[in-house]
Amino acid sequence: MVTLFEVNAADVLLGASILLSCAFFVYGINILHLTRRSKRYTVPKSEEMSTKPTVAIHLPVYNELYVVERLVGSCVKVASRYGKDLVRICVIDDSSDETSKLLDELAGRYQSQGFKMNVLRRGERSGFKAGALQAALLTTEEEYIAVLDADFVPPEDFLDRTVPFLQADPSVGFVQCRWGHLDRKYNLMTESIAIGIDAHFLLEQQGRNSSHYLMNFNGSAGVLRKKAITDAGGWAPDTLAEDLDVSYRMQLAGYRGVFVGDLEVPGELPPTISSLKRQQGRWARGSLQTAKKLLRQIHGSKDLTRGQKIEADIHLTYYLVHPLMVASFLLAALAALLNVNVINYTVNVSLPDFTKGVGANLTAGKVVLASILIAPWIVFSVLVVLSTLSVLYYCTVAIRTQHLGLLANVKEILFLLVLGYGMSISNSVQAFLGIFSKNTGTFKRTPKYAITRKEGSWSEKQYQLPLNATNLFEAGGIVLAVLAMARAIQFSNFGILPILGVYATGYAFVFGLTVKQTFSVKGSFER
């Protein structure tokens, strides 16, 4: 017998799961769309410059003891290639540790060699990275600005291959290069993350650029037109995704972006789960803050096409996928806990009693025409399968595009999938903060340890990340998954076990790895 409460609970579960299916479909189909459009991408050709313009290289730095010397050294090589007298290296140093002393030594060394290099210190870290870049912008006279994060190593021809696009076309506001990876082979995590980053650049960026959609500056490995930044309102500290924000505002101001897919600028990938969660969480919160800030303006623009607006909607809200994943897990858990195994819809139709003639009462009798049985776990399975297949396809194409060998990367793809499910809780926390919090939040940079070989060790260095409150939610997810699975077994609701098992595995793996790596730290924790 089904009580009224059970029927209502079943209705809610079914309705919510259908809505989730529709939402997943939108994001999943967009991956397919951009993948298809990426095949139209052709590497843009630049013309040789008759005269080279001046360029400022802005390097926002905050406590980067292990990588800053490598960064400055690589920028000096870029300046030597492009023209020592045409490039000014500006390090915006907000550091509170030994990094500042090292930077002063580097500035003195390279200044004595004739390079233009200065260290800008603000005295406070207001506005974080956006505040640092804006402070540097106000002191910049050069026409173009290259931006590099501390862990990147630009090739010597970086400016020679990017500046020509800006010089040839005044409508180009920024040029974005593809990210490479210094530590791809360090461990299974970096190998897996590299696949996801590659897919972003090879499929998403190429797909958006070839389709004339709004694309984003990725915050590093790019060159921007100073006037475009100024016309867009400058670097703004009201989101944690200052790069996404300023590049969208540039395009709303009439400029466009160029993606140079054949120029690879390598940087470091997070070697630990805690640093990866911090990076992903900042991107999740920042992108949704940008969506809140700009979507109304985007839809009000008369210069953008309907397709550009729809793609912008999906792009800026993409991190909602993680709350959707958590929601599908919670729905599956509720179905198991409430023992909602089958939702029964009976269709009744009233027929007249023809024995009483033409004027028969239509409500005289009821005849059951059909009984529809719907298992909620079938819908949940569709959610899980769709999200998994879209990621698998996304990764597979990225691997094949680079001829890395699909079979050789099966383990890495599976690892990436587990990470995706396991990190859905931490990313959801930051996504909700991005949507509902009135505070911008603190820009917590991803620690870099200058590890490029397997022999390197991160655990003995500074900038380690401690456990935080989000780990309690992860532990709670594990407990809920185990209870729901036990309940499902008790009531022979076996169909829902695979879905719960996927999430339980992801949450347990990410939580366990976080705890293990945290307690293996030998160096000092972040100040």
CB 395 within 8 A of CB 416: yes
Which amino acid is it at 474?
E
Q: Which residue has the tokens 């976080």?
A: 514
Is 183 a known active-site residue? no
**Burial, 177: exposed, middle or buried (Cβ in 10 Å; 0-12, 13-18, 19+)?**
buried
Alpha carbon distance 291, 435 (integer Å): 9
Q: How far is residue 216's CA from residue 127's CA, in Å, rounded to a whole number? A: 20
The rounded distance, in Å, linking the Cα atoms of 260 and 44 is 7
Nearest to 196 by CA among 31, 61, 329, 73: 31
Convert 84-114 into a string of H (helix), E (strand) and C (coil).
CCCEEEEEEECCCCCHHHHHHHHHHHHHHCC
Q: Are 81 and 159 in contact (CB under 8 A)?
A: yes
d(CA 152, CA 63): 15
Q: What is the DSSP string of 420-434?
A: HHHTHHHHHHHHHHH
Which is it for strands 55-61 and 256-267: parallel, antiparallel or unpaired?
unpaired
Q: Residue 16 class from Cβ within 10 Å (0-12 exposed, 13-18 middle, 19+ buried)?
A: middle
Pick from 350, 158, 191, 157: nearest CA to 269: 191
Distance separating alpha carbons of residues 474 and 428, to the nearest angstrom: 11
Q: Active-site residue 353, yes or no?
A: no
Torsion sign, CA atoms 501, 503, 506, 508: negative
The catalytic position among 94, 151, 183, 198 is 94
List 93, 151, 198, 243, catalytic entry: 243
Task: Write out the H or E segment, with its range, that includes residue 262.
Answer: strand 256-267
Residues 511/474, Cβ–Cβ less than 8 Å: yes
Runs of H (alpha helix) within 200-349: 206-211, 226-231, 242-252, 273-300, 306-316, 321-337
Query: Active-site residues: which are they?
Result: 94, 243
